[in-house]
Amino acid sequence: MSDSKPIKNIRWGIIGCGDVTEKKSGPAYQKTEGFEIVAVMRRDAEKAADYAKRHGIQKHYSDADALINDPEVDAVYIATPPDSHKLYGLKVAEAGKICCIEKPLAPSYEESKAIYKAFEAKNIPLFTAYYRRSLPRFKQIKKWLDANSIGQIRHINWHLSKPASAQDLSGLYNWRTDANVAKGGYFDDLASHGLDLFNFLLGEIKEVSGIGLNQQNLYSAKDALVACWLHENGITGTGSWNFGCATREDKVIIYGSQGTIEFSIFDETPVILSNENGIVPLMIEHPENVQLHHVENMKEQLLGNGIHPSNGKTATHTSWVMDKIMGTI
């Protein structure tokens, strides 16, 4: 255990208090020793007040600038749709405050890079909520890989598919499938989690190309994408993401010279190690508030006990991978 001196409580403000903050993230900040949420902001003042009341939070705003510049707010968690991440992120950097931004960091590599550089220039911590890097289930996979449990790693493949949802078929607005907010549609929202995790598990992706299109014409964003890539250490990768298939499937297989590791990015299924010693399925539960370990790791970095696995630099690289697959750079 480190002998580092304790830091004062860090007082967080949240911009955007939608569904993700209700259970996945908001309570994780409240449960982490040394962190507290002192303010929330939502454009709808009544909903902001309701959220604050239900979660026992002192202040609520309908104006983001007021929260960012509140002297009693030390750090800001941006949990809005991606198209506003740059707007708010640059304001937080200008205010000189610690920041965590929901994934993806921004809708494009260029916007992500601008956010990252703004915090880097001021030497202010910037975290990104690619929380799978901190979850025990996926850290177990890294332990197996680092222990050469499947020999030399050769290849990774991920297939993710699901049927069109009732909302997709209805034509009702959904920011997740609006090309002006998320060019890749569900790919932006979902595939970013897995691709970021692969960078963490296998080393940075250095070469990547892809094909993306809209097969169903239900919304403006893309709904079908395929990609191939190369990690820095010579591991190859392939992926396919389709959001108009008959069945839902989410399967990742890492192939090695002496075995395989199989797992899911989103489904509650075991991680499975197969090698000459047999098949080992492990069911490792996520915490009730899935971002808890991610939030605790932010505290550990701020205490000087290591580097958080998901930061502005790593998230910007994931944005580069995503844009390369979609052919926008």
Tell me the CATH architecture of domain 136-285.
Answer: 2-Layer Sandwich (3.30)
pLDDT score at 180: 87
The three-point CA angle 180-184-186 to 5° equals 105
The answer on pLDDT for 1 being more than 90 is no
Task: State percent of the chain over pLDDT 70.
Answer: 98
10-130 matches 136-285 in fold: no
Mean pLDDT of the chain: 96
The answer on pLDDT for 2 being more than 90 is no
For 143, list phi and psi in degrees, rounded to 5.
-60, -45
Q: Is 208 helix (H, G, I), strand (E, B) or coil?
A: strand
Provide the whole-model pTM: 0.94
- Alpha helix (H) residue ranges in the chain: 19-22, 26-31, 45-55, 64-68, 85-95, 109-122, 136-146, 166-170, 186, 192-202, 292-302, 312-326
Give the Å distances, CA to CA, from 151 to 106, 154, 260, 288: 36, 9, 9, 34
Q: Per the structure block, which two tokens stand in for 125?
A: 């911590």
The answer on pLDDT for 4 being more than 50 is no
The answer on pLDDT for 214 being more than 90 is yes
| Average pLDDT of the residues in 67-93 | 98
Instruction: Give the range among 48-62, 73-87, 134-148, 171-185 with minimum mean pLDDT.
Output: 171-185
pLDDT band, residue 3 (cuts 50/70/90): very low
Class of the 10-130 domain? alpha beta
**What's the rounded Cα separation, in Å, for the pair 51 and 22?**
9
Closest CA to 291 of 112, 143, 124, 102: 102
| Average pLDDT of the residues in 205-219 | 97
The answer on pLDDT for 320 being more than 60 is yes
Per-residue model confidence as pLDDT tens digits over 140-173? 999 999 999 999 999 999 999 999 999 999 999 9
pLDDT score at 8: 74
| Average pLDDT of the residues in 276-287 | 98
**What's the rounded Cα separation, in Å, for the pair 88 and 102?**
12
**What's the rounded Cα separation, in Å, for the pair 26 and 17?**
8
| Average pLDDT of the residues in 69-91 | 98
pLDDT score at 6: 54
Residue spans of the domains in the chain: they are: 10-130, 136-285
Cβ contacts of residue 40 below 8 Å, gap of 6+? 13, 14, 17, 48, 51, 52, 55, 57, 59, 60, 61, 67
pLDDT score at 196: 99
| Average pLDDT of the residues in 89-99 | 99
